[in-house]
């Protein structure tokens, strides 16, 4: 038995620490675009068309699957942002990433935070994006604008918290997009200005 614990310890120390799921979760990345407009910071969102394969008609950040040719989550998020809304990668100042989140639709999503110049000549791909719109961070951070609801999970167990922002310009931010937004807001709230 003597060598086994040492060998196992060595093997365990080589693990990456990545999240393991019970099912095949696809890696994805989204760009969380920040822009300054009239002295106020905003987040840029899209509403997906009803013609896309997944998340039809939902508010989202630009992004999608990480493809084999993508060297990083940031590269995937920037590539997808250019495809979806015409945002050129050199025009984005990438600040970093939030922790990945697992979605109920079996994606592991890495949110990439970036600053974009404003105004910007967005060119939405109308097959994928119905609309682009901004929401002030100040409005998103207002506790009265966020609702938390409980939802039963897909398998029996504890209920799951679902986040919904009240409608802004008739758009409802919910699901993983709301979770990503809340993670960013929590990060900002936990650090001094």
Q: What is the average pLDDT value for the chain, to the nearest integer?
A: 88
Query: In this predicted structure, what is the pLDDT of residue 57?
Result: 67
Q: Which residues pair with 93 in a beta bridge?
A: 115
Q: How confident is the model at residue 50 (pLDDT cuts 50, 70, 90)?
A: confident
Tens of pLDDT, residues 122-172 = 999 999 999 999 999 999 999 999 999 877 666 666 667 889 999 999 999
Question: Which of helix, strand or coil describes residue 94?
Answer: strand
The pLDDT > 70 percentage for the chain reads 83
Question: Which of helix, strand or coil describes residue 7?
Answer: helix
Domain 22-189 sits in CATH at: 3.90.79.10
Question: Which of helix, strand or coil describes residue 110?
Answer: strand
| CA–CA dist 76, 84 (Å, integer) | 12
pTM beyond 0.75, yes or no: yes
Query: In this predicted structure, what is the pLDDT of residue 115?
Result: 94
Domain range summary for the chain, segments of one domain joined by +: 22-189
């Amino acid at each position: 038995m003597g060598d086994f614990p040492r060998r196992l310890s060595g093997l365990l120390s080589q693990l990456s620490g990545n999240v393991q799921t019970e099912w095949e979760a696809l890696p994805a990345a989204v760009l969380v675009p920040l822009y300054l407009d009239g002295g106020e910071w905003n987040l840029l969102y899209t509403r997906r068309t009803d013609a896309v394969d997944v998340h039809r008609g939902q508010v989202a950040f630009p992004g999608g699957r990480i493809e084999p040719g993508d060297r990083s989550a940031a590269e995937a998020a920037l590539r997808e942002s250019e495809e979806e809304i015409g945002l050129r990668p050199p025009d984005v100042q990438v600040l970093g990433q939030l922790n990945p989140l697992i979605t109920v639709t079996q994606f592991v999503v890495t949110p990439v935070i970036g600053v974009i110049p404003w105004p910007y000549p967005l060119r939405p791909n109308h097959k994928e994006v119905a609309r682009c719109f901004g929401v002030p961070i100040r409005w998103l951070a207002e506790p009265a604008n966020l609702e938390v609801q409980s939802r039963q999970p897909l398998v029996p167990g504890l209920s799951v918290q679902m986040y919904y922002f009240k409608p802004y310009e008739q758009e409802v931010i919910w699901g993983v997009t709301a979770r990503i937004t809340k993670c960013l807001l929590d990060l900002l709230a936990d650090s001094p200005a």
